[in-house]
């Protein structure tokens, strides 16, 4: 009897372990996949890149049919985006129905894409938009969710609105945070609607921007290794700005009603690698690895301890066509280069996981570069030539504090600009002329961290699906199966003695 009693206790402990750690398992790894690039990788190559790195969730910024079609039968969960410039039209319910019929319905029947969310707009209440989307976002959200419901998808697909953290008016501590006074009533409407429909609140959190915009911002507070200036907020202590930002949202939600426990998704979080004195590979690696280790530990935040955090890293791949109005760092958020090569070692699954796997099947133009020819052309036209090259390509790596700044002199800057234009235009005839100041060479002129690129030719399609995505979730499923098997075997043994 004592043996049987002991085994019963053991079985009970195992069941408690499964229930507890099943609820605390890490959220699957998500990334943002943008396509604002002059030479984007083919969607099939990107899907293979996602799979080979165990990335099982992706957030898109539109409903590009080539991209969504590439995700058919991929087992990758998808958040489909609606750009801000479409919001006005979607205030018409019939157009919202049409949008769902065109961009969602084709993938919900015979074509299987695991669409879980629709992002209605992207940071539409940024103060820099001067209120352009204030009067249309809520109507568009309601109409899209209503259209999803009418099509029979409402139980599976939820509409949400990715918000920037600037919708929150911060206080001296996270607990004092509220939504900005001028949008408080509107935010209350949106939050109520999300909550009624079982949809999450989506927030984008960027510690890099905090550091970029405030020279007095404590650098260590942006990362996850502790801070010399932690914030004390009653019983809570904040060692990093991510936790403080996340809990500021929780406090803001609680301030407008019983919403402090609603589901939250971190729609974007990351660190750029170029274009600013604080945008570099070392900081990006430190931040992204620190964040991943932080969320994988399931430590949660002070207001939500021991809680898994749903997130999407920003971003997957560099995009050279992104607007640089916010800063020269905008084209450089990717954890991969434009061609799918990893920028640095990063364990997506945590501190001891595998490093990034580069894209396969990528082909390049001829190994030729366009550089400045000091012996040719009219040097009085050099300035105009550089300006023209940079206005029609991406020269953000030349700025102060950027990757090329320490390595290039004036002639080197001209060469970099010329080559960017040359590659942007597929090394075409006449694209290295620049009034006779350019010349094509076959020796790589790269110096230090300043890389003179060779553009993508036409990447071949990735091979057959030889990888399984969602490594962490599948590991949990395997572990759970093992534990449940042990439970069954133990139960069988119990009742047989």
Handedness of CA 64, 66, 71, 73 (dihedral sign): positive
Q: Residue 447 pLDDT more than 70?
A: yes
Tell which of 423, 441, 459 closes a domain: 441
292 within some domain: yes
**355 vs 395, more confident:** 395
Whether 27 is catalytic is no
**Integer Cα distance of 55 and 57 in angstroms:** 6
Write down the pLDDT at residue 28.
87
* Catalytic residue selected from 27, 268, 319, 330: 268
**Integer Cα distance of 61 and 125 in angstroms:** 16
- Strand 162-164 relative to strand 201-204: parallel, antiparallel, unpaired? parallel
477 within some domain: no
Question: 380 with 326, same domain?
Answer: no
Mean pLDDT score, 320-347: 97
Mean pLDDT score, 373-382: 93
- pLDDT tier, 353 (very low <50, low <70, confident <90, very high otherwise): low
Write down the pLDDT at residue 377.
85
397 within some domain: yes
Tell which of 411, 426, 441 closes a domain: 441
Question: 3-class DSSP state for residue 58?
Answer: strand
Percent of the chain with pLDDT over 90: 82
Write down the pLDDT at residue 460.
35
Question: 374 with 310, same domain?
Answer: no
What is the residue-averaged pLDDT of the chain? 88
Write down the pLDDT at residue 351.
55
What's the CATH number where 204 sits? 3.20.20.80
CB 302 within 8 A of CB 236: yes
Burial of 317: CB neighbours in 10 Å, binned 0-12, 13-18, 19+: buried
Write down the pLDDT at residue 171.
79
Question: 126 with 230, same domain?
Answer: yes
What's the CATH number where 383 sits? 1.20.58.1040
65 within some domain: yes
Structure confidence by residue, pLDDT tens digits, 258-311: 999 999 999 999 999 999 999 999 999 999 999 999 999 999 999 999 999 999
- pLDDT tier, 458 (very low <50, low <70, confident <90, very high otherwise): low
471 within some domain: no
Write down the pLDDT at residue 209.
97
* Catalytic residue selected from 123, 239, 319, 330: 123
209 within some domain: yes
Question: 234 with 379, same domain?
Answer: no
Q: Domain range spanning residue 149?
A: 11-332
Tell which of 303, 332, 361 closes a domain: 332
Question: 291 with 374, same domain?
Answer: no
Note the pTM of the prediction, 2 decimals: 0.87
**Integer Cα distance of 32 and 471 in angstroms:** 18
Mean pLDDT score, 423-448: 97
Structure confidence by residue, pLDDT tens digits, 25-44: 557 899 999 999 999 999 99
Question: 325 with 379, same domain?
Answer: no
Number of domains in the chain: 2
């Amino acid at each position: 009897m004592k043996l049987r009693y002991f085994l019963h206790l053991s079985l009970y402990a195992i069941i408690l372990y499964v229930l507890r750690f099943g609820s605390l398992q890490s959220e699957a790894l998500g990334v943002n996949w943008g396509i604002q690039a002059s030479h984007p990788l083919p969607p099939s190559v990107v899907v293979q890149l996602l799979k080979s790195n165990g990335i099982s969730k992706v957030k898109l910024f539109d409903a590009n049919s080539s991209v969504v079609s590439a995700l058919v039968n991929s087992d990758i969960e998808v958040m489909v985006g609606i750009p801000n410039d479409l919001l006005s039209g979607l205030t018409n319910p019939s157009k919202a129905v049409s949008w769902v019929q065109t961009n969602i319905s084709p993938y919900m029947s015979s074509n299987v894409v695991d669409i879980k969310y629709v992002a209605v707009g992207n940071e539409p209440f940024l103060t820099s938009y001067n209120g352009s989307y204030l009067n249309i976002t809520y109507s568009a959200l309601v109409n899209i969710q209503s259209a999803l419901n009418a099509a029979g998808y409402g139980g599976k697909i939820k509409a949400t609105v990715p918000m920037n953290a600037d919708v929150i008016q911060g206080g001296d501590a996270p607990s004092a945070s509220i939504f900005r006074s001028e949008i408080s009533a509107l935010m209350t409407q949106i939050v109520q609607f999300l909550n009624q429909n079982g949809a999450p609140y989506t927030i984008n959190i960027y510690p890099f921007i905090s550091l970029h915009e405030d020279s007095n911002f404590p650098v260590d507070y942006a990362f996850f290794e502790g801070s010399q200036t932690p914030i004390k907020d009653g019983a809570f202590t904040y060692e990093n700005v991510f936790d403080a930002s996340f809990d500021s949202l929780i406090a803001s939600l609680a301030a407008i009603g019983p919403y402090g426990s609603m589901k939250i998704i971190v729609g974007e979080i990351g660190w750029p690698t170029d274009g600013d004195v604080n945008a570099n590979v070392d900081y990006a690696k430190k931040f992204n690895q620190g964040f991943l280790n932080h969320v994988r530990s399931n430590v949660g935040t002070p207001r939500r301890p021991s809680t898994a955090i749903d997130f999407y890293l920003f971003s997957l791949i560099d995009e050279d066509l992104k607007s640089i109005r916010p800063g020269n760092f905008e084209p450089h958020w990717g954890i991969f280069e434009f061609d799918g090569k990893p920028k640095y070692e990063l364990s997506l699954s945590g501190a001891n996981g595998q490093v990034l796997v580069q894209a396969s099947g990528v082909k390049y133009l001829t190994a030729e570069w366009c550089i400045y020819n000091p012996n040719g052309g009219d040097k009085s036209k050099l300035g105009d030539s550089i300006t023209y090259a940079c206005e029609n390509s991406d020269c953000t790596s030349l700025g102060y504090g950027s990757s090329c700044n320490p390595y290039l002199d004036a002639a080197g800057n001209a060469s970099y600009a010329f080559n960017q234009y040359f590659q942007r235009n597929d090394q075409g005839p006449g694209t290295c002329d620049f009034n006779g100041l350019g010349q094509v060479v076959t020796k790589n002129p790269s110096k230090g961290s300043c890389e003179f690129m060779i553009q993508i030719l036409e990447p071949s399609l990735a091979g057959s699906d030889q990888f399984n995505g969602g490594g962490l979730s599948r590991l949990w499923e395997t572990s759970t199966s093992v534990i449940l098997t042990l439970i069954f075997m133990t139960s069988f043994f119990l009742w047989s003695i």
